[in-house]
């Protein structure tokens, strides 16, 4: 199978694993193979109670993992990529000088005996209290993480992230025993199925309530799904067109589409293609090409992280935004950061462009709108 077909099949199974957890180990194994690794894990770490949730792993038996968890986490410099940005791929050398890594106890006692030469990790999801990351280890005989491995990881990671976020929205436990339509209809989150033309073919109860409110999403007289404002509607159209073309074409689009109600409440939408793999069951039942999941913008993360995700802000842009709120105007922020005022103004202009507001006072209002707790 050539690389393009291999990637397409892999992406399809990544989304199918949302509904069938039994696929996770096989999918992770194929991710490792596609990227040039030999073992890996999808792991969530929780800072408050120092606990871990291992979604799946390959390349190690349970006893080996237990031995690792008892003796080596604090010595493993590659096991804490939380400082990295979402989707950023980091290797051991990105986190610590490689010579230092090789001299450390973790490498000498664990990594080298298990054949590890390097490891590529990427943060898939992050909140104020937890971090989920995908890691793929590379055998020492294969050399260090290189540009090709980073490139292949970058092709896969957006789909792993979207699948993880959709899985959190669905909150199902025994999906393998339930048909897709039962899962969809039982969601507390809003769900709308659309066909290739953007026409609504099905909505669950929560999705129907959102459409009946005719607020930020509505159903036209022709049955089309449209968003409340032109810019958001254009973005929605692009995502749905990409989704109708399949998993691979969707790419990084649709990870999070921000929506705003007339009362100022914020919502986030995620799009799942239905034209591939086991998800075709829902597609055939309703002649649908995509499912749109909508929930309030209430995450485990801080309001700052919600804002950053919704408006696709870089870490520096988010830092400037919060400084505008907490510190004041451009001169004060520049002095606090130790940079020129022109640098802050550059970031500020990008903030205006991404958020759609034109004044610093409006940025303050925007942040304030996220400061009150919202129910899931």
Q: Is the pLDDT of residue 375 over 50?
A: no
Q: Residue 152: which CATH number?
A: 3.30.450.80
Q: In 3D, which of 160, 211, 150 has the Cα closest to residue 18?
A: 160
Q: Residue 282: which CATH number?
A: 3.30.450.20
Query: How many domains is the chain partitioned into structurally?
Result: 3
Q: Is the pLDDT of residue 298 over 90?
A: no
Q: Is the pLDDT of residue 283 over 50?
A: no
Whether residue 12 sits in one domain with residue 142? yes
User: Among 137, 170, 203, where does a domain finish?
Assistant: 170
> Given the DSSP bridges, would you call strands 130-139 and 116-126 parallel, antiparallel or unpaired?
antiparallel
Whether residue 359 sits in one domain with residue 343? yes
Q: Is the pLDDT of residue 45 over 80?
A: no
In a domain, 215, yes or no: yes
pLDDT on residue 350: 92
Query: How far is residue 234's CA from residue 336's CA, in Å, rounded to a whole number?
Result: 39
User: Among 270, 296, 322, where does a domain finish?
Assistant: 296
pTM (predicted TM-score): 0.53
Whether residue 131 sits in one domain with residue 12? yes
Whether residue 191 sits in one domain with residue 236? yes
Mean per-residue pLDDT over the chain, rounded? 77
Q: In 3D, which of 261, 259, 295, 286 has the Cα closest to residue 376?
A: 295
In a domain, 375, yes or no: no
User: Among 271, 296, 321, where does a domain finish?
Assistant: 296
Query: How far is residue 58's CA from residue 234's CA, in Å, rounded to a whole number?
Result: 41
pLDDT in tens, 336-364: 677 788 888 999 999 999 988 888 888 87
Whether residue 309 sits in one domain with residue 290? no
Three-class DSSP category at 61: coil
pLDDT in tens, 162-174: 888 777 665 443 3
Structural domain boundaries enclosing 234: 179-296
């Amino acid at each position: 199978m050539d690389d393009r077909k291999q990637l397409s099949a892999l992406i399809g199974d990544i989304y199918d694993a949302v509904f069938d957890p039994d696929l996770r180990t096989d999918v992770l194994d194929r991710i490792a193979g596609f990227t040039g690794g030999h073992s890996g894990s999808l792991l969530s770490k929780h800072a408050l109670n120092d606990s871990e949730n291992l979604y799946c792993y390959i390349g190690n038996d349970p006893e080996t993992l237990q031995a690792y968890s008892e003796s080596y986490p604090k010595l493993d410099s590659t096991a804490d990529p939380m400082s990295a940005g979402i989707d950023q791929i980091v290797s051991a050398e990105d986190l610590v000088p490689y010579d230092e890594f090789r001299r450390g106890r973790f490498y000498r006692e664990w990594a080298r005996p298990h054949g590890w030469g390097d490891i590529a990790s990427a943060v898939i999801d992050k909140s104020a209290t937890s971090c989920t990351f995908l890691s793929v280890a590379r055998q020492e005989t294969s050399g260090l993480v290189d540009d090709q491995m980073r490139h292949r990881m970058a092709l896969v990671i957006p789909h792993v992230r979207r699948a993880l976020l959709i899985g959190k929205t669905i909150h199902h436990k025994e999906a393998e025993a339930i048909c897709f339509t039962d899962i969809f209809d039982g969601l507390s989150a809003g769900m709308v199925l659309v066909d290739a033309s953007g026409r609504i073919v099905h909505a669950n109860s929560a999705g129907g309530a959102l459409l009946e409110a005719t607020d930020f999403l509505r159903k036209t007289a022709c049955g089309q799904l449209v968003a409340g404002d032109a810019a958001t509607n254009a973005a929605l159209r692009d995502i749905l067109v990409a989704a109708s073309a399949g998993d691979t074409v969707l790419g990084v689009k649709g990870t999070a589409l921000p929506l705003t109600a007339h009362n100022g409440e914020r919502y986030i939408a995620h799009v799942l293609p239905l034209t591939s793999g086991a998800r075709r069951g829902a597609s055939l039942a309703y002649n649908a090409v995509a499912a749109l999941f909508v929930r309030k913008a209430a995450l485990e993360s801080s309001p700052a992280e919600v804002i950053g995700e919704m408006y696709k802000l870089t870490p520096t842009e988010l830092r400037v935004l919060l400084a505008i709120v907490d510190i004041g105007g451009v001169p004060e922020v520049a002095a606090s950061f130790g940079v020129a005022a022109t640098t802050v103004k550059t970031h500020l202009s990008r903030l205006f462009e991404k958020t759609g507001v034109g004044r610093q006072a409006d940025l303050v209002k925007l942040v304030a709108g996220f400061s009150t707790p919202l129910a899931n």
